[in-house]
Amino acid sequence: MQIIFPKSAIPDPQHFIRRAGYGLIVNRRKGETSFVRRFTRDLYPRFHLYIEDRGENWQFNLHLDQRAPVYVGVTAHSGDYDGPVVEQEKERVKNLLSAYKAHHTRA
């Protein structure tokens, strides 16, 4: 699920998403960074989010990882890219953005 925000609303998307409860993870094989928010102490299930630069906007690509890959050498997992749980997390992030903007635009 995609969430698009103007860069003027979030000058530092990594700082914002970390304040939203996500932790940074680095895929050393691919050289990619992304963010996860766990439900429990277990690694899965978890929300998984990538941040992409889209010119004047940031695009957050959000999905729910249900479990780890089951085959050695395979990166595919059981992920949900839509549905009520992902939609609820999208709304949570959007609501946090409203609070973030209000806090960072005070004079």
Q: What is the pLDDT of residue 55?
A: 96
Residue 77 burial (10 A CB sphere; 0-12, 13-18, 19+): middle
Taking each continuous run of H as one helix and of E as one strand, the counts in the chain are 2, 6
Half-sphere exposure of residue 42, counting CA atoms within 13 Å on the CB side? 8
**Residue written as tokens 């005070």?**
106
Q: Running DSSP on this structure, what letter comes out for residue 55?
A: T
Which one has a higher pLDDT value, 2 or 30? 2
pLDDT per residue as tens digits for the range 52-103: 999 999 999 999 998 876 665 555 556 788 999 999 999 999 999 888 777 7
Cα distances from 30 to residues 25, 33, 59, 86, in angstroms, run: 12, 9, 20, 25
Q: What is the pLDDT of residue 29?
A: 86
pTM here is 0.84
Which pLDDT band, with edges at 50, 70 and 90, does 28 fall under? confident
CA distance 14 to 12: 6
Average pLDDT for the chain: 88
